[in-house]
Amino acid sequence: MADRYRVDCRKFPSDQGCTVAISGSIDEVIELGWLHAKTHHAHKDDEETGIKEWIRGNAEAAHD
Ligand SMILES: [Zn+2]
């Protein structure tokens, strides 16, 4: 079974009360996290590389 990772919007530096958490493989978490950042938090396409790197650096091991 592949390792699962988790990112939690409650820990997002600039977040304003979002409580979404995403878990899955590291690639799924990065892709969905980026889509969530773009659609829900109004991040722009030119932030994609930085956001994805941030997610990769901040994803935690999930034990669910
Ligand atoms: Zn969020």
Q: How many structural domains does the chain have?
A: 1
pTM: 0.86
pLDDT, tens only, 17-32: 899 999 999 999 999 9
Place 14 in a pLDDT band, splitting at 50, 70 and 90. low
Which is more confidently placed, 64 or 21? Answer: 21
d(CA 13, CA 4): 22
- 6 CA → ligand 1 middle, Å: 13
- 10 CA → ligand 1 middle, Å: 8
- 1 CA → ligand 1 middle, Å: 27
At residue 15, does pLDDT exceed 70?
no
What does the DSSP 8-state code read for residue 51?
H
- 63 CA → ligand 1 middle, Å: 21
CB 6 within 8 A of CB 32: no
When pLDDT is averaged across residues 48-56 and rounded to a whole number, the result is 96
